[in-house]
Amino acid sequence: MTALPVQAAAAAPEAAPFPLVPPEYPILTFEGGDHALTDQLLAPLHGVGVVWWTLLALSGAGATLFLFCIWYTFAKGIGTWGNNIPVAWAFAITDFVWWIGIGHAGTFISAFLLLLNQRWRASINRIAEAMTIFALVNAALFPVLHLGRPWFFYWLIPYPATMGVWPNFKSALPWDVAAVATYFTVSLLFWYVGLVPDLATARDHLTSRVARRVYGIVALGWRGSSTQWRQHRVAYVLLAAIATPLVISVHSVVSLDFSIAQVPGWHSTIFPPYFVVGAIYSGFAMVLLLVLPLRRAYRLEQVITERHLDAMAKLTLVMGLMLAYAYAVEAFVSWYSGDPSERFMYLVERPFGTYAILYWIMMACNILTPQLFWWKRCRTSVPVLLGAGVAILVGMWLERFIIIVTSLHREFLASSWHFYKPTWVDLGLLGGSIALFVFLFLLFVRFVPFVAISEMKQLRHDLVANGGREIGLPDA
């Protein structure tokens, strides 16, 4: 939204604190009442069709492959993977960083946009939060699998052991454990607090006795009293305020795994903001891939309007531009540092070396794709958004692969240079984790109200009370 003072005077003469132009697309075009809205948003809880079962079977098969690869890794050891010294980190850490980055958009949409009073978030925040949780489930698995002896993962937790030793908190790895565990817990609490009123709606809307019992238990006896709503809103905003710095911190901490090392291509102060931007960027791409099919399947065009597509595309563009800036600064600083190893890594090895083809695919996916969103028609076109989402996710996975593998396979000593290639177990774990993610998301759609129903009702009534205009809407 650009601010044009002349138009704004005509549009909102009454009490706008600063000039505003009405947004181009309406935030909500649903024409029915609250009951019809509830019916539509709870439709999957009453039953699902053949497509859902087919997708569940397919993703279930993929998730089984994931379990098989995990079992194989445990049984045979880490040697079944392609990584070996000097490329000690490869697919597993790439997958870890990729998944945890995807999670970031969920918290961004639910917490940042709540604090900034972006009320369009209500249509998609629940989907994005679920995405965060399922992405974090995958993310948390990979470092554990990568430990070599994963059954000793609890050694990373400071508990009083008979051995008398403790984790070394000057290492980045316990930081990771703290950051990821906290992020997962806070995301889950935030999600559940927002969900309780909608679970109560599901309890009251469903007809089967068993379903009413189950939703009655998980809704904790919510009755929507004014006291409950008031405290609920306070807690929700508090959690948002807590989650906002958290989301910035998590990928910053992940980036420190790299930047506190001295490996060329890792040792850079721009890493924390650069990683956070890339994380939110890839997360938006995943939100697009989840929201658009769901919007189509459940005919949610009146709830998830062109406004949402447009806003998501604009945010994707902003993140893409910030990422392009980070790439440029990285390359410049490597040259400016005068360090031959850094210069070689950024200016020779990555663009023209072993994995150059992946580097250029990454550049095309991450830098060129979002430029489409300068055009309004692209911002609201479902095929373009889906294509861009896939391209960005591919690009962001490649980015982490390039950071990790190109840097390690050409370390300081030329005698230890090495060529890395993944094994079928590496590929099975990556593909299987995607399948597990889809599987969990399908279960979420079937059993959990996937749009924040009470927030949508509040938004609808606020819009009606405000004469359908978005300017001057009260805070959520």
In terms of CB distance, is 5 or 221 closer to another protein? 221
| Interface pattern 181-220 for another protein (x via CB under 8 A) | xx--xx--xx-xx---x--xx-xxx----------xx--x
In terms of CB distance, is 222 or 266 closer to another protein? 222
152/184 Cα distance (integer angstroms): 21
Beta bridge mates, 84: 87
With residue 233 as reference, give the H or E element that holds it: helix 226-259
**Nearest to 452, CA basis, from 201, 78, 111:** 201
In terms of CB distance, is 53 or 169 closer to another protein? 169
134/444 Cα distance (integer angstroms): 10
Contact set for another protein, span 251-270 (CB under 8 A): 253, 256
In terms of CB distance, is 193 or 367 closer to another protein? 193
Cα dihedral angle (56, 57, 61, 66), rounded to 10 degrees? 10
In terms of CB distance, is 74 or 155 closer to another protein? 155
Q: How far is CA 293 from the centre of its chain?
A: 17
Report the residue from 249, 337, 354, 381 that binds another protein according to the rule CB under 8 A: 249
In terms of CB distance, is 35 or 209 closer to another protein? 35
Q: Which stretch binds another protein (CB under 8 A): 143-151, 170-178, 335-343, 350-358?
A: 170-178
* Other C-beta atoms lying within 10 Å of the C-beta of residue 335: 12
| Interface pattern 223-242 for another protein (x via CB under 8 A) | xxxxxxxxxxxxx--xx--x
CB of 218 to another protein, least distance (A): 9
Q: Which stretch binds another protein (CB under 8 A): 161-169, 321-329, 369-377, 415-423?
A: 161-169
In terms of CB distance, is 232 or 314 closer to another protein? 232
CB of 457 to another protein, least distance (A): 4
Angle between helix axes 172-205 and 91-107 (nearest 10 degrees) is 50
Q: Which stretch binds another protein (CB under 8 A): 4-12, 127-135, 139-147, 173-181?
A: 173-181
Q: Under a CB-based contact definition with an 8 Å cutoff, are residues 290 and 441 in contact?
A: yes
CB of 316 to another protein, least distance (A): 27
In terms of CB distance, is 100 or 435 closer to another protein? 100
Report the residue from 277, 442, 454, 470 that binds another protein according to the rule CB under 8 A: 454
Q: Which stretch binds another protein (CB under 8 A): 93-101, 248-256, 303-311, 413-421?
A: 248-256
Tell me: does residue 83 bind another protein (CB under 8 A): no
375/44 Cα distance (integer angstroms): 34
In terms of CB distance, is 426 or 470 closer to another protein? 470
Contact set for another protein, span 34-63 (CB under 8 A): 34-35, 38
Number of alpha carbons in the 13 Å side-chain half-sphere of residue 329:
12
Tokens of 172: 């980045």
CB of 119 to another protein, least distance (A): 13
Which residues have a Cβ under 8 Å from the Cβ of 72 and sit 6 or more positions away?
80, 425
267/333 Cα distance (integer angstroms): 11
Tokens of 106: 């969920």
Report the residue from 30, 81, 108, 222 that binds another protein according to the rule CB under 8 A: 222
Query: Is the dihedral angle over the CA atoms 312, 388, 108, 131 positive or is it negative?
Result: positive
295/40 Cα distance (integer angstroms): 12
Measured between alpha carbons, how far is residue 5 from residues 20, 182, 364, 473 in Å? 7, 44, 38, 19
Tell me: does residue 115 bind another protein (CB under 8 A): no
Report the residue from 71, 152, 166, 417 that binds another protein according to the rule CB under 8 A: 166
What are the CB-based long-range contacts (under 8 Å, 24+) for 356-362? 358/398, 358/401, 358/402, 359/398, 359/402, 359/406, 361/394, 361/395, 361/398, 362/395, 362/398, 362/399, 362/402
CB of 262 to another protein, least distance (A): 13
Report the residue from 92, 178, 279, 408 that binds another protein according to the rule CB under 8 A: 178
CB of 418 to another protein, least distance (A): 27
CB of 474 to another protein, least distance (A): 6
CB of 132 to another protein, least distance (A): 14
Residue that has been written with the tokens 């959990």 in this structure:
448
Q: For residue 44, is the peptide bond before it cis, meaning its omega torsion is within 30 degrees of 0?
A: no
Q: Under a CB-based contact definition with an 8 Å cutoff, are residues 360 and 395 in contact?
A: no
Report the residue from 167, 353, 431, 472 that binds another protein according to the rule CB under 8 A: 167
Q: Under a CB-based contact definition with an 8 Å cutoff, are residues 466 and 216 in contact?
A: no
Which stretches of the chain bind another protein, using CB under 8 A?
33-35, 38, 158, 164-170, 174-175, 178-179, 181-182, 185-186, 189-190, 192-193, 197, 200-201, 203-205, 216-217, 220-235, 238-239, 242-243, 245-246, 249, 253, 256, 454-455, 457-458, 461, 474
